[in-house]
Amino acid sequence: MIVCRTKAELKLQLSSLRKQNKSIGFVPTMGFLHEGHASLLRQAHNENDAVVLSIFVNPLQFGPNEDLDRYPRDEKRDLMLAEECGTHLVFMPSVDEMYPNKPLTSVIVSQVTDRLCGASRPGHFDGVGTVVSKLFHLAQPDRAYFGMKDAQQVAVIKQMVNDLNFHVEIVACPIVREPDGLALSSRNLYLTPEQRVQAVLLSRSLRQAEEQLTEQGMTSARLEAIVKDAINEADEAVIDYVELLQFPSLQPIDAAALLSTYKEPLLLAVAVKFGATRLIDNRIIQATEVNSYV
């Protein structure tokens, strides 16, 4: 496994792979890798000749009061896990390497960023779109792998790729969970033991809502209320949002419309804070194309 810390080093190594006509699978991350990231790397390894992993904590996607400085980092552990998963190249640039000057250009995807995390974290997806665009240009992968835990990010990246004609296939991979259902996240590290116990309510409430989806007269307003009531059982939980939207357009659903009339995939997404730790989770429901996304 080769570690590249500059764009020039990455270009040189990728040139060698291209001369051998090797297909490239790319997994962009912010590091502090866990089993969710490992599942992306393994799938990329199975579907490509070479795997490129990027580890870069991107300052552009953090707001003024968010956890950029607190974001966990463990380079040694990340590299060990990457090698175990069959990674060929790791791109680990510094902020100065990625942004030698303050960028005056950004990639902004509209509409699909209007709700969910796009509404509660203004500018977040501008930072995501900009850095992923840069990384795609640098890595020039055949396929790029993203976890469905951040379903909105998947929708944003797919929209950007389609609109800007990137020659890369976006592969959406299933959410990886703890045995009790909690979605794996680097931020789970910040939870207190009590918060960790309560956080299971996110996945439990989503599963409960899906089970009640087919009840007679079920509407999006009722389904969202079911999730909110379940999460509010946790005394440390502060709900940021609970929303049911069409997927992948992320357009809203008439609150009074019967869900039985919708045939396209629907995304039930939540964001909840436990103290200073913000967790997200989601479930694709009533989806004839569910296997395309989960």
Residues 133 and 43 in one domain: yes
Do both 41 and 83 map to the same domain? yes
Phi then psi for residue 201, to 5 deg, are -60, -20
Let me know how long the chain is.
294
The two tokens of residue 4 are 């590249």
Number of structural domains found in the chain: 2
Q: Provide the annotated active-site residues.
A: 37
**CATH number of the domain where residue 247 is located:** 3.30.1300.10
217 CB-near residues (< 8 Å, 6+ apart): 258
pLDDT tens-digit profile, the chain (294 residues): 999 999 999 999 999 999 999 999 999 999 999 999 999 999 999 999 999 999 999 999 998 877 788 888 999 999 999 999 999 999 999 999 999 999 999 999 999 999 999 999 999 999 999 999 999 999 999 999 999 999 999 999 999 999 999 999 999 999 999 999 999 999 999 999 999 999 999 999 999 999 988 888 899 999 999 999 999 999 999 999 999 999 999 999 988 888 888 888 999 999 999 999 999 999 998 644 434 444
231 and 152 within one domain: no
Range of the domain at 219: 186-292
Global pTM reads 0.93
Say which DSSP state 275 is in.
T
Tell me how far apart the alpha carbons of residues 113 and 122 are, in angstroms, rounded to a whole number: 9
pLDDT computed for residue 70 by the predictor = 82
